[in-house]
Structure 1
Amino acid sequence: TQVFAKLPANMSAAAASKVVRKAVFKVRASMKEDPALTKIAENFAARIARGEDTAKAGAWASAQLRKSRSSYVSVSTLVTAAADMDAFDPASGMDESGLSHFGVGVARGPHPDMGDNAFYIVLLLAVR
């Protein structure tokens, strides 16, 4: 028996963030990136890449959003991990009507199924 596994691409988190932005704009060209949402998403991604429980990191992000007193009606979260950024497609998580702004965070870290250098991707999707 032979097992083949694709190793994660040698891509920085910053370069992977650009891939995510491009994918978001491909789905919804009218969306705008919000630096405050991106800061929260980056921290969220870093937390889960370090091994923090996703629910705990999500609770932290929710608290940050409440503290920011943003003008958004709602903010939804898309959290995923990928071994290869070419496979990332946010379309199924972006079907909510009224989405206008987003924040993106990408961090690299160990994943039980994807190896030591997986991409952890967090998108905060907001309705104003």
Structure 2
Amino acid sequence: MTQAIQRTELKTFYYTPVHCPFCGTRVMGGDPIDETLITACPHTLFIAHDMAFEYRSERFDQNISLNGLTEKQVEERWLREAGGIDGLTNKVTLADAIKVAAYAPEPSAYGSYYGFAPVE
């Protein structure tokens, strides 16, 4: 039986730095010189925002059948089939996978999404 990714949401403290729950690596903003740099650890499946993916691992692409697709095809898929990146990343079925969804408060509709799974 496949299990959907576990999900937690940050709404009040949406700006809190996100760390991998398996190894503790700060995945976004971990570089003190440039906080926009992504530091994906081996457990990181994806880092995304409502408008685009910042990072996608090979495990993530394989799990939801994105491998071999162009960036345009990936974008068409999350727009057409999944109702956005949030919906597409909800489809992960890797064992014990965890998703952190961080939403800026209204009037913003902005979300950021971070996915992690143990390395087998």
Question: Above 0.5 in TM-score?
Answer: no
Using the size of structure 1 for normalisation, the TM-score is 0.33
